Amino acid sequence: MKRKNNAIYIDLENIPASLDLKSLFDELTLKHNATPEEENVFVIKLACGNSSSIKKLQKQLAEYNFNIRDTPSITSEYKNRADLIISLEALETIITQSPIIDRYVFITSDSDFTVIMETLRKYGKEVYLVTKEAVSDKPIFNNSCDEILILESFQTKPKAEETKPNASKGKTKEKTETNNTKRNDKLVESIMKKVVDSLDPDSWLLVSLIGIKFHQMDKSRTIERSSYKTIGNLILKLEKDKLIERRLNEKGHPEIKPIPKQ
């Protein structure tokens, strides 16, 4: 089994207390591998923040053997040095090569981290970002990492919410989710149309390669939060709208090509 060394860094100032580290580690451990033979090992685990932000996750951090670094505020605006400390720690692994890290995971919504993320990618490293959905489609994030995971997917529900459902809150939440789904539908449709527009209208291309091109533009996996859920469903929509043709090649693999605009 091939071992993949991971380093995970948490900016405690920019994440909620409801973060469920177990579900996040399960996701990173069981998914996102090039082959089933890969084994994810977390060799570096560092969390930085001030004392109050440490306290809200201290138990979970201790259970996962995180190195916890207190970074007290150094200005009246509560600015601390968590971003600088984490960035230097990550850069040091490139310099020392001990241990050699294959994938770096940053949990933050602070765009300051894009500097170190981009630097690590220059050295051929795989970089993941776990961030809030509201900022996940920011170009600066999408252009600085290989994969974006949505922070809200790894949060526990408050007990009060579970035991005392409120009808009005439920309707508001349902309306918000519907609006988000519609927004995500339009976004993934726009991305896929851009992918199709970039294709040679005289050539057939494997759907699997279309999926790769799409994913390169949809790093936050918005399609999973849209009503389409999968690339296949989105392609069916484009076929229905007569934007593409679809067929099976001689090996039985699906291919598409764009229909020239009239």
Q: Is residue 162 part of a domain?
A: no
Q: Is residue 207 part of a domain?
A: yes
E-strand ranges in 26-168 read 38-49, 67-70, 103-107, 126-131, 147-150
* pTM (predicted TM-score): 0.74
| pLDDT for residue 77 | 60
Q: Are residues 177 and 133 in the same domain?
A: no
| Domain count across the chain | 2
Q: Are residues 142 and 187 in the same domain?
A: no
Euclidean distance between CA atoms 244 and 205, whole angstroms: 11
Q: What are the tens digits of pLDDT across the range 95-144? A: 999 889 999 999 999 999 999 999 999 999 999 999 998 898 888 998 99
| Domain end point (choices 156, 176, 198) | 156
Q: Are residues 28 and 95 in the same domain?
A: yes
Q: What are the tens digits of pLDDT across the range 157-179? A: 655 544 555 666 566 656 666 77
CATH number at residue 246: 1.10.10
Q: Are residues 81 and 18 in the same domain?
A: yes
Nearest to 228 by CA among 244, 243, 242, 240: 240
Q: What are the tens digits of pLDDT across the range 179-205? A: 788 888 888 888 888 888 888 888 898
Tell whether the model's pLDDT for residue 34 goes beyond 60. Answer: yes
SS3 136: coil
Q: Are residues 213 and 100 in the same domain?
A: no
Domain holding 55, by residue range, is: 2-156
Nearest to 207 by CA among 190, 230, 241: 230
Residue with tokens 């484009």: 238
Task: Tell the burial category of 120 from Cβ atoms under 10 Å away from its Cβ (0-12, 13-18, 19+).
Answer: buried
Query: Could you tell me which residues are beta bridge partners of residue 225?
Result: none
When computed from its CA atoms, the radius of gyration of the chain, rounded to whole angstroms, is 21
Token reading at 38: 């890969």
Q: Is residue 76 part of a domain?
A: yes
Token reading at 26: 């399960």
Q: Is residue 161 part of a domain?
A: no
Q: Are residues 57 and 35 in the same domain?
A: yes
